[in-house]
Structure formats: C-alpha cells, structure tokens
Amino acid sequence: MSRLTLLFWQLMVAVVALSLWQFFATVPVFGRMLLPPFFFSTPVDVASQIYKWFATGVIWKHLMITLWESVLAFVIGSVGGVLVGFWFARQPRVAAVFDPYVKMMNALPRVVLAPIFALWLGLGIWSKVALGVTLVFFIVFFNVYQGVKEVSTTVLDNGRMLGMSERQLTRHVYWPSALSWMFSSLHTAVGFAVVGAVVGEYLGSAAGLGYLIQQAEGVFDVGAVFAGMFVLSAFVIVIDFGVTLVERRLLVWRPAPVARD
C-alpha cells in the first residue's frame, strides 16, 4: 500500500466511526436513540468543547501541567532506574539482597500509592511526579539490569584483550549496551510517565488533564470527558513521535528491523 492510500484508509476509519456515532446519537432508530447523548455525547459536541478549550486558552495551562509532571516523572524515574539497574547488575550480591523487595514493590499496583503521595507531597505536581516515577523507574530499571547482564561475552573479552580497564569497559561496553536496552523501553516508559501524571491528577489535584476529565465527570458532562480523552491521546501521540525522533538519532548503530510489505 502506498503512503497516500494508507493515510486515506486510516482517515476513513475515523470518518466512519465518527459518522456512526453522530448518527446514532442524533437520529432515533425505531423510535429509540441507540446512543443517548446524555451518556454518549456527540462528536460535534466533543469537537466544539475541544475548540472552546483551545479558543479560550484554558487548555494550555492544564496541558503544560501534565506535560511538566510527565517530563519530571520520566527524567527522575529513568535516571534512578539507570543508576540502580547498573549498580545491581555490576554488584550481584547487592542485587541478590534486594531482589525480593524489588519484586514486592514492582508487584504493588501503583494506584494505591497515590493517596500516600498526596498526603506526603500535597496536591501539587510532586505527588503526581512521584506516582509517575514509581512506574517509570521499574521499567527502566529492569531493562538496564538486563542490558548490562546480557552484554555479549565475546565483546567483553574483546574489550579486555584490547586492554580496557574495568572503568573503560564500563564506559565503552556496559554503558552503551545498557542504554540501548533503556531506549528500547523508552516508549513504554514515556507512556507510563503520562499515565502516572494523569492518574495522579484524577485522584486529587487542581490542574492538569486528569483534573479536567475528573471535573467534567463530576457534573456528568460526558462531552467534556470525551474531549479530555481526545486531547490526552493527541498529547501522547505527539510525545511518542518526539521519542521516535530521539530514538532514531541515538540508535543509528542498530540494525533496522526487516520491513515486509
């Protein structure tokens, strides 16, 4: 399929879905409304809500808050995950001691931490950042740990025979290998950073996309809930695109996956 036809069909899916939605929410079938607007709103209402948000500019403040929380959660979680992952992988004894606790903490559904973080850190951005960090940290941690553990022994031996000290091995072999694993988890990590921020906002905050959705839900404004969801998806897609660009730049040395038509 050429790019243009692909784009056409992708657009068609949206057009058809939205038309059906609009149709069943406004035209009664056999005397009944299949999608009562009170529960399902309509695409037109949702669109006008989104337009209103952007026209008045209220949305920017919320978007910026959510973006800022996600970025902080991502950066802090990643840095922590890389450092601890590296440390554990190079010090198997430390890893063995902490192993059950790491597993325990990772098994904990992170949502239950939200009230604790709200208590400790207040209703500002930091309780959301903390929630995002607990999600991002483990993804990056496990990947970096794996990456350092699975460095090819041949490449390591080669480094040693070329005369590398332990320090140079860390810099030239372990580190790039760990980073490549970290980047392969980048999309997931960024996604989780946003999830942490939005869920945190939803559970208690005064700003952000999660807050916006929660407020609309509180007054049964289904149109605004859907509008919030659409803005959120668009937001995540834009961030994900940014990640793809960064990834392409940093992982040029990796063979591209074989594409098939």
Partner 1 sequence: MDTVQPTAVALDEATVAFRLADARVYTAVEKARLSVAHGEFVAIVGPTGCGKSTLLNVAAGLLKPAAGAVRIFDQPLTGLNRDAGYLFQADALFPWKTAIDNVAIGLEIKGAPRAMALERAQGWLTSVGLGAFGNRYPHMLSGGQRKRVGLAQVLIRDPKILLMDEPFGPLDAQTRQIMGNLLLELWTADRKAVLFVTHDLEEAIALADRVVIMSAGPGARIIGDWKVTLPRPRDISEVRMEKQFHELHREIWSVLKDEVMKGYAQSSQAAEAS
Q: What does the binding site for partner 1 look like in residue numbers (CB under 8 A)?
A: 152, 154-155, 157-165, 168, 172-173, 176-177, 180, 252-255
- Residues paired with residue 32 on neighbouring β-strands, in sequence order: 29
> Which residues is 29 bridged to in the sheet?
32
At its nearest, how many Å lie between partner 1 and the CB of residue 75? 23
Rank residues 101 and 253 by Cβ distance to partner 1 and give the closer one. Answer: 253
Q: Output the smallest distance, CB 162 to partner 1, in A.
A: 5
Looking at beta carbons only, is 67 or 179 nearer to partner 1? 179
Closest to partner 1 by CB, 90 or 172? 172
Question: Among 227, 208, 193, which Cα is nearest to 66's?
Answer: 208
Amino acid at 126: W
DSSP 165: -
Work out how close the CB of 73 gets to partner 1 at its nearest, in angstroms, rounded to a whole number.
Answer: 28
What b/e string do you get for 152-182 counting C-beta neighbours within 10 Å, with b at 16 or more? eeeeeeebeeeebeeeebeeebbbebbbebb
For residue 62, which amino acid is it?
Answer: H
Give least dist CB 172 to partner 1, A. Answer: 7
- Minimum distance of partner 1 from residue 180's CB (angstroms): 7
**Between 178 and 225, CB nearer to partner 1:** 178
Alpha-carbon distance of 51 to 59, in angstroms, equals 10
CA 243 to CA 237: how far, in whole Å? 10
Compare residues 219 and 252 and give the one whose CB is closer to partner 1: 252
